[in-house]
Structure 1
Amino acid sequence: MQHASPPNPAADARRGLWLGVLGVFLFALTIPMTRLAGGPASDPQLDPLFVALGRAAVAGLLSLAYLMLTRAPWPTPAQWPPLALTASCVVFGFPLLMGYAVREVDAIHASVISGLLPLATAVMAALVNRQRASLGFWLCALAGTALVIGFAAWRGGGALVVADAWLLGAVLAGALGYVSGARLSAQMKPEQVISWALVLALPMTLPVAIVAWPTAPVRASAWLGFGYVALFSMWLGFFAWYRALALGGALRVSQVQLLQPFLSMLLAVPLLGEKLDLATVGFALAVMGTVWLGRRMPAAGAPAPVPPAKEPRVSSA
């Protein structure tokens, strides 16, 4: 009879870190590719509603096939509500808000605002998982928020624009979805978390995607952007990301996203022809500095235990 290997927290933390890096690399292209798919307001391509729910529909069909082929067990009754919460955040909230935002502002602007996502995820983790973060951590979170709002006001000529509110809403939705998915990843395989969330949303995403299918021709590059966000941003990226959060802890692994805004900004230059200026880089560095400092601050309390599934689960090989 084979015995399970003893838990190795240090090894799990390392695996979580590297899987987090992989997930961040896949997610870094989300903002530029969403902008590529939807186009700017002056030259619109695919409708943001179609990009957001169409990509979820494609990923949902792939998820359905994956769950059937792997004979994944059905979620328990207690797991359906958190799956619905995860779906509402990462299938609907984040893609829709981000899609409409990047039609009004460039990808570099959106990348700076989304730089707040690691701290937002850590804050959500601290609140939802009842982790006692230090005063310094909360001060860093406030400082990062103030910097992001200051940057948005500066780019908006002294006032915030509607797109900035959409971006901040996307950050909050993404953070809550990450934490909810991470908690579920302690009960089921992480790749099944995003797959079940997408399948749960399929009765809504598929009909809307069919109705919103573009009738006017769009550039091939727009379809390329759509294909990327459907396959990688909406599906495969979460395979790595949720497993990383489950192994290394959402409060800490989320800080790997420190790399994401820089990667997104750099990739927007060749993909979209956008230009970086020193002031924008300076704001991005300042925001990332608060994230880095927040990561260094101690989290005194251990996370609250994730409730186990109420029914025994048989994992498929």
Structure 2
Amino acid sequence: MRDNDSAIVPSRVAVVPATDLATGPWASLSAAWRGSVLASLGVLSFSGSFPATVFAMRGFDPYLVAIGRAAVAAVAALVLLLVARAPLLPPRTQLRSYLVIVAGVVFGFPLFSGLALDAGASVSHAGVVIGLLPAATAACAVLRGGERPRPLFWVACGLGAVAITAFTLSRGGGHATGADLLLVGALVSAAVGYTEGGRLARETSGWRVISHALVVAAPLTVPATAALALTTDTRPDAVSLAGFAYVGLVSMFLGFIPWYAGLATGGIARAGQTQLAQPLLTLLWAWLLLGERFGPVTVVAALAVLVCVAMTQRARS
């Protein structure tokens, strides 16, 4: 049974009447398209994660950034749960699923991706490699989520994966680099965490899923963050603090609220394909914020990904 979110919202908080949500352009969209719209908001948030991580690591240790972002997000999640008068911990029957989310998106993805950037991977390169994430998420959705997309879906997904793999090999002289292997670890971690979170979001709201995951991880992330802050070399300035704040509040928390809601509404495999657009968005931020230059091969790979997005959105689950 799905949680009744309105029951836990304080009386002083205005709630939009259900009749308002049942009419208008939003209600005219199918569940699949509503899920894609919500997931796209999450993708937009995530697309700035790599540039923000680079900024944060200018003043903080990579491990501190990777783990500290979860500690910052845990504080925000705890505040939201308290304001909403929701339980601070998830049901014990769901604890195993939350541990999977913690391992995948709270620890795995931030740690692997941060180390890859620290190892020399450019933001534009990392963004395109992580474009394989929708394919990995779709595979996890089949194995864990019980979804069965149409063949056209897999064709589009496969074409996107081939385009990004070819791009990676062309940039690495025909072989994968150490940073590429770290990025593969990041995308596998994220795919597992996204799928498990999308499954839980079918039963409870997306904001509760990420909030509970962060609170469950807090006994590890908060002490570890404190220890790293005391033992590592920190040189905080306005730019590094802004980057740290972004990955902690947006990438690790706020972006997951529409993301998990979109996966639950539109289907994990189908809505997850909106993340194929993330490489192009990351390239845009790398150019605007970091001044990175990239050649036509990078642009072609990103455009090929966009074509695959259009194809997957036409393939109904």
Q: TM-score, normalised by structure 2?
A: 0.84
The SS at the match of 1:176 is: helix
Cα distance in 2 for partners of 1:47, 1:222 equals 11
| Secondary structure of the corresponding residue to residue 255 of structure 2 | helix
Aligned to 1:237: 255
2:161 is matched by which residue type in structure 1? T
Distance 1:140 1:162 in 2: 28
Give the match for residue 92 of structure 1: 107
- Select the residue among 69, 90, 109 that pairs with 2:83: 69
Shift of 1:144: 3.3
Query: Given that residues 276 and 305 in structure 2 are in contact (C-alpha distance below 8 angstroms), is that contact kept between their aligned partners in structure 1?
Result: no
Aligned-partner SS, 1:88: helix
Could you tell me which residue of structure 2 aligns to residue 312 of structure 1?
Answer: none
2:298 counterpart residue number? 280
- Per the alignment, in what secondary structure is the counterpart of residue 188 of structure 1? coil
CA contact (8 A) 1:90 1:174 kept: yes
Looking at structure 1, the residues matched to 81 and 312 of structure 2 have their Cα atoms a distance apart, in angstroms, of 38
Report Cα offsets for 1:107-163 as digits up to 9, x if no partner: 000111111222222222122122223444444444433333322222122321111
Cα deviation for residue 186 of structure 1 reads 1.6
Contact 1:190–1:242 under 8 Å retained in 2: yes
2:34 match: 15
Is 1:25 the counterpart of 2:44 in the alignment? yes
Unmatched 5+ residue regions in structure 1? 40-44, 300-317
Superposition deviation, residue 269 in structure 1: 0.9
Distance 1:256 1:294 in 2: 8
Mapped partners of 2:263, 2:43: distance in 1: 12
1:36 Cα deviation after fit: 1.8
> Is the partner of 2:211 in helix, strand or coil?
helix
Using the TM superposition, name which of 252-261 and 199-208 deviates more: 252-261
Which aligned runs of 4 or more in structure 1 are off by greater than 4 angstroms? 7-11
> How many Å separate the matches in 2 of 1:210 and 1:160?
35
State which of 178, 182, 194 in structure 1 corresponds to 2:194.
178
Q: Deviations over 1:255-295 (max 9, x none)?
A: 22232211111011121111131111112223443454344
Secondary structure at 2:233's aligned position in 1? coil
Q: Which runs of 5+ in 2 are unaligned?
A: 1-17
Q: Does 1:215 align with 2:243?
A: no
Whether 1:37 aligns to 2:56 is: yes
Distance 1:282 1:10, change over 3 A: closer
Does structure 2 conserve the Cα–Cα contact (< 8 Å) formed by 1:98 and 1:167?
Answer: yes
How do residues 151-190 of structure 1 correspond to structure 2 at under 5 angstroms?
A: 151-190=167-206
CA contact (8 A) 2:43 2:274 kept: yes
For residues 29-79 of structure 1, the C-alpha deviation after alignment (integer angstroms, 9 at most, x for no partner) is 11111122124xxxxx42211111100001112212222232213422211
> In structure 1, how many angstroms separate the alpha carbons of the residues matched to 2:92 and 2:289?
44
SS in 2 for 1:105: coil
- State the partner residue of 2:217: 201
Which structure shows the higher helix fraction? Answer: 2
Offset at residue 297 of structure 1 (A) = 4.0
Task: Give 2:222's aligned amino acid.
Answer: L
Asked if structure 2 preserves the Cα contact closer than 8 Å seen for 1:121 and 1:176, the reply is: yes
Whole-angstrom distance in 2 between the partners of 1:130 and 1:239: 22
Mark the CA change 1:127 to 1:289 in structure 2 (over 3 Å): closer, same or farther.
farther
Identify the residue that residue 283 of structure 2 maps to in structure 1: 265
- Which of 113, 116, 120 is 1:101 aligned to? 116
Check if 1:52 corresponds to 2:66: yes
CA displacement at 1:192 relative to structure 2 = 0.8
CA distance in 1, matches of 2:35, 2:153: 21
The amino acid that maps onto 1:26 is: S
Larger displacement relative to structure 2 (14-23 or 197-206): 14-23
8 Å Cα contact 2:127-2:282 kept in structure 1:
yes
1:125 to 1:46, Cα distance in 2 relative to 1, 3 A: same
Q: Tell me which residue corresponds to 1:145.
A: 161
In 2: Cα distance, 1:253 partner to 1:154 partner: 29
Structure 1 residue 11: deviation in Å? 4.9
CA shift digits 1:147-200 (9 cap, x unpaired): 333222221223211110111221121111111111111222210110110011
**In structure 2, how many angstroms separate the alpha carbons of the residues matched to 1:232 and 1:77?**
27
Query: 1 CA distance for matches of 2:29 and 2:313?
Result: 18
